[in-house]
Amino acid sequence: MGELSTLFAPERVAVVGASDEPGSVGYAVTNNLLETFEGAVLAVNPNRDNVLGLSCYDELGAVDDVDVAVVAVPAPVAVEVVRDAGELGIRNIVVITAGFSEAGSDGSRRERELKELAEEYELNLVGPNSLGIFSTGVGLNASFGPKHPVSGDVSFMSQSGAFITAVLDWAEQADLGFQHVVSLGNKAVLDEGDFVREWGEDAETEVILGYLEDVSDGQEFIRAAREVTAETPVVVVKSGRTAEGASAAASHTGAIAGTDEAYEAGLAQAGVIRVDSVQELFDFAAILSGQPLPEDNDVALVTNAGGPGVMMTDAVGDSTLSLADFADETLDALSEGLPDGANIYNPVDIIGDASAERFARTLDIVLADESVGMAVVLACPTATLSFDELAEETVRLQEKHGVPIAASLMGGASAESANDTLAAAGIPTYFDPDRAVRSLDALSRYKAISEREYVEPTEFDVDRDRAREIIESAVADGRQALGVESMELLSAYGISVPENEVVTDAEAAVEVAERIDGDVAMKIVSPDISHKSDIGGVEIGVPTEEVWDTYEDIIVRARNYQPDAAILGVQVQELVDVDTGTETIVGVNRDPQFGPLVMFGLGGIFVEIMEDTAFRVAPVTEPEAREMFTEIDSSPLLYGARGREPADVDALVDTIQRISQLVTDFPAITELDLNPVVALPDGAAAIDLHLTLDTEKL
């Protein structure tokens, strides 16, 4: 265990606000502790002499050696109790009391005080507004929930206390056991990142589960989870995925969560397996805690029923798994051992008159095949098959071969005891063959996560000082929205831009055009004019001899269109051969939880209409930038589809990383758009820039 070891394995727990009044929170917490806790329970309540057979202490200071203080007194008093605890040197505190940030401005003030106290006294503080915590290793149930968890190797944190009570109620009959359970409450101090880190170091925790409505500190969570998921799988429901759900979440916890794109990207970068339903959360927990990781993702299916076998095969087709391609010896052995009418190819159909013995013989052959990384046993009830024998054989063969197995025994009462046998051995089993396959898929996906090698973000050699100068001078001019006049910002970060200059008279325009040598593009530069093309503010392919007149025309049109617009000049830019290139977009916005979120997509219709985009939380590593190309459907256009010359994807990968470095270096950049970045056969050039600054973050 890590820094929170005492929180989860205390010897002495004090309940401040202990009560003998049934129905009260103080009663429930004390009672729960008395029922199962191995250590000492100490009741603190100045208004009682005795609570549930315990002598009451008047105050926390009267109790010696408190490892964990559970606070269940009204909110105004709770802050004082926490202060006392801090002064007494009690490090671990669970604040069950509600009435903090979820309850108006007084509550928010109190929550700020809690945070300050926690910082001052280095407190490990859970809550406030928490159901409590559970740790089955020492029988700790410091909660007011109605159920004790069964012991197991899953640790679970939840931003909803009610969800914990529901899960513990259901888990009793679902053969799911827990190591630690934490109701996160308002997460004033300890948050999901802390528990991921803690449980990652806990030898008793095999799987970490979470129900989250937001992530308090996205960057820290990514760091923590990225390390932990190399050894321990983390499966999370992040709710508020949809517009409707996000609005419901905001009214539930008061947290304004960022966009789902940020969560999707951030959780994936963190190595977290994200699920959308309660069923998948616990299906995945069961297989991740019960079965070994597969050697590879080729699955063998063995069934006594063709039709369900087809459904199961569809599930494989939907998954990231493949059907194993058996070796010749396997096929020979199957062919020898199976009757006419059987199908020896994967999915193996050992037909309706199969006994458990035929199942076992077939499984034994198939699991010995080196191409088989995992297997599903799928059985329909028949007169010749004993589910119980099949379950025993499956357990035996899983142990013999060490290959992960999931089962689907398609029966009701007739399958119950067999299902118990399988579950006891850690083999998950479902009526629905889909779920067996999806569970194996999760196992395989986690295998890949555990093997990821994290590459540090590339640190490019950039001119950070020059970038700072450009930003500061814009701010000094009172500008918060920067455009092409600040293209040098990109050059300072090594991002290729066509030769260009912003000029303020026609003569200078001609000089720049002559230097560029060839036709140029000219564009009005004004923070106040957003649709520059629409007002005739952009001219492409202007010959040098027309530059003077074009300059004047552009200025006149802009003045006519919007007399009060601030005009910074006209940009004269080297032409980029857009015809041989592909327009792409690199954008950034800043997510409240995860920080800078980098977007990539193909220009025009692809991003705007097809919504064909990929996101990563910055800093974006080189492999992460490269993955973005596999995520968008239109990327074949970059790889030379339809007779095009392939684009320089490396240059785009480089651009994405440099932008990531820029926005990481300058938190003042709240939004940034390079639209387009033209991907050429050799290189990539940023043609246009929009950038918004938050001057307070300079």
**Which 446-505 residues touch a copy of itself, going by CB under 8 A?**
none
Q: Quick one: which of 270, 286, 363, 380 contacts a copy of itself (CB under 8 A)? A: 380
Q: Quick one: which of 139, 381, 498, 683 contacts a copy of itself (CB under 8 A)? A: 381
The DSSP bridge partners found for residue 50 are: 55
Dihedral, 652, 654, 656, 659 alpha carbons, nearest 10: -130
Residue among 149, 153, 155, 160 at smallest CA distance from 184: 160
Angle among Cα 297, 302, 306 to the nearest 5 degrees reads 120
DSSP secondary-structure letter at 667? T
Residue list 96-115, contact with a copy of itself (CB under 8 A): 103
Under rule CB under 8 A, residue 171 binds a copy of itself:
yes
Residue list 222-241, contact with a copy of itself (CB under 8 A): 237, 239-241
Of the listed pieces 119-127, 157-165, 549-557, 591-599, which binds a copy of itself according to CB under 8 A? 157-165
Q: Are 649 and 630 contacting, i.e. CB atoms less than 8 angstroms apart?
A: no
Residue list 273-292, contact with a copy of itself (CB under 8 A): 276-279
In the complex, minimum distance from the CB of residue 429 to a copy of itself, in angstroms, rounded to a whole number? 13
Under rule CB under 8 A, residue 215 binds a copy of itself:
no
Residue list 643-672, contact with a copy of itself (CB under 8 A): none
Residue list 615-644, contact with a copy of itself (CB under 8 A): 633-634, 636-637, 641-642
What is the SS3 string spanning 145-166?
CCCCCCEEEEEEEECCHHHHHH
Under rule CB under 8 A, residue 415 binds a copy of itself:
yes
Nearer to a copy of itself, 283 or 488 (CB): 283
Q: Quick one: which of 62, 77, 174, 424 contacts a copy of itself (CB under 8 A)? A: 174
d(CA 246, CA 244): 6
In the complex, minimum distance from the CB of residue 29 to a copy of itself, in angstroms, rounded to a whole number? 13
> DSSP readout, 557-576?
HHHHH-TT----EEEEEE--
Nearer to a copy of itself, 661 or 675 (CB): 675
Residue 619: asked if its preceding bond is cis (omega within 30°), the reply is yes
Of the listed pieces 345-353, 513-521, 584-592, 662-670, which binds a copy of itself according to CB under 8 A? 345-353
Q: Quick one: which of 58, 64, 170, 541 contacts a copy of itself (CB under 8 A)? A: 170
Nearer to a copy of itself, 318 or 577 (CB): 318
Q: Encoding tokens for residue 599?
A: 């977007």
Under rule CB under 8 A, residue 138 binds a copy of itself:
no
Residue list 531-560, contact with a copy of itself (CB under 8 A): none
d(CA 344, CA 337): 10
Q: Encoding tokens for residue 452?
A: 């990821």
Q: Could you tell me whether strands 569-574 and 582-591 are parallel, antiparallel, or unpaired per DSSP bridges? A: unpaired
d(CA 363, CA 376): 9
Phi, psi of 654 (to 5 degrees): -65, -45
Under rule CB under 8 A, residue 432 binds a copy of itself:
yes
d(CA 326, CA 9): 49
Q: Quick one: which of 41, 273, 316, 669 contacts a copy of itself (CB under 8 A)? A: 316
d(CA 227, CA 200): 8
Residues touching a copy of itself, count (CB under 8 A): 88
Nearer to a copy of itself, 516 or 637 (CB): 637
Residue among 441, 395, 369 at smallest CA distance from 409: 395
Dihedral, 94, 99, 100, 106 alpha carbons, nearest 10: -140
Q: Quick one: which of 204, 469, 583, 612 contacts a copy of itself (CB under 8 A)? A: 612
Nearer to a copy of itself, 203 or 413 (CB): 413
Under rule CB under 8 A, residue 675 binds a copy of itself:
no
Nearer to a copy of itself, 434 or 671 (CB): 434
Under rule CB under 8 A, residue 244 binds a copy of itself:
yes
In the complex, minimum distance from the CB of residue 102 to a copy of itself, in angstroms, rounded to a whole number? 8
Phi, psi of 522 (to 5 degrees): -130, 140
Q: Quick one: which of 269, 313, 660, 675 contacts a copy of itself (CB under 8 A)? A: 313
Of the listed pieces 9-17, 198-206, 308-316, 509-517, which binds a copy of itself according to CB under 8 A? 308-316
Residue among 411, 391, 388 at smallest CA distance from 305: 411
Q: Quick one: which of 107, 309, 595, 619 contacts a copy of itself (CB under 8 A)? A: 309
**How distant, in Å, are the alpha carbons of 131, 524, 546, 682 from that of 540?**
64, 12, 12, 22
Q: Could you tell me whether strands 178-183 and 151-158 are parallel, antiparallel, or unpaired per DSSP bridges? A: parallel
**How distant, in Å, are the alpha carbons of 141, 263, 390, 410 from that of 384?**
48, 50, 11, 15
Of the listed pieces 223-231, 346-354, 517-525, 660-668, which binds a copy of itself according to CB under 8 A? 346-354
In the complex, minimum distance from the CB of residue 346 to a copy of itself, in angstroms, rounded to a whole number? 9
Q: Encoding tokens for residue 6?
A: 């005492």
Nearer to a copy of itself, 324 or 492 (CB): 324
Under rule CB under 8 A, residue 158 binds a copy of itself:
yes
Under rule CB under 8 A, residue 255 binds a copy of itself:
no
In the complex, minimum distance from the CB of residue 174 to a copy of itself, in angstroms, rounded to a whole number? 7
Under rule CB under 8 A, residue 413 binds a copy of itself:
yes
Nearer to a copy of itself, 27 or 37 (CB): 27
Q: Quick one: which of 88, 150, 578, 610 contacts a copy of itself (CB under 8 A)? A: 610
Under rule CB under 8 A, residue 580 binds a copy of itself:
no
Residue among 188, 184, 189, 94 at smallest CA distance from 142: 94
Nearer to a copy of itself, 251 or 456 (CB): 251
Nearer to a copy of itself, 277 or 451 (CB): 277
Under rule CB under 8 A, residue 74 binds a copy of itself:
no
Range 619-624, long-range pairs (CB < 8 A, 24+ positions): 619/457, 619/660, 619/661, 619/664, 620/457, 620/656, 620/657, 620/660, 621/454, 621/455, 621/456, 621/457, 621/458, 621/657, 622/455, 622/457, 622/458, 622/653, 622/657, 623/455, 624/269
Q: Quick one: which of 6, 108, 343, 450 contacts a copy of itself (CB under 8 A)? A: 343
Q: Quick one: which of 36, 371, 414, 670 contacts a copy of itself (CB under 8 A)? A: 414
**How distant, in Å, are the alpha carbons of 17, 138, 333, 553 from that of 9?**
22, 6, 53, 77
Q: Are 212 and 272 contacting, i.e. CB atoms less than 8 angstroms apart?
A: no
Of the listed pieces 341-349, 421-429, 446-454, 674-682, which binds a copy of itself according to CB under 8 A? 341-349
Nearer to a copy of itself, 297 or 660 (CB): 297
d(CA 260, CA 624): 18
Q: Are 297 and 320 contacting, i.e. CB atoms less than 8 angstroms apart?
A: yes
In the complex, minimum distance from the CB of residue 339 to a copy of itself, in angstroms, rounded to a whole number? 13
Of the listed pieces 61-69, 215-223, 430-438, 460-468, which binds a copy of itself according to CB under 8 A? 430-438
Q: Encoding tokens for residue 337?
A: 């051992």
Q: Quick one: which of 177, 498, 604, 667 contacts a copy of itself (CB under 8 A)? A: 604
Could you count the other beta carbons within 10 Å of the beta carbon of residue 580?
14
Q: Quick one: which of 153, 192, 194, 349 contacts a copy of itself (CB under 8 A)? A: 349
In the complex, minimum distance from the CB of residue 574 to a copy of itself, in angstroms, rounded to a whole number? 26
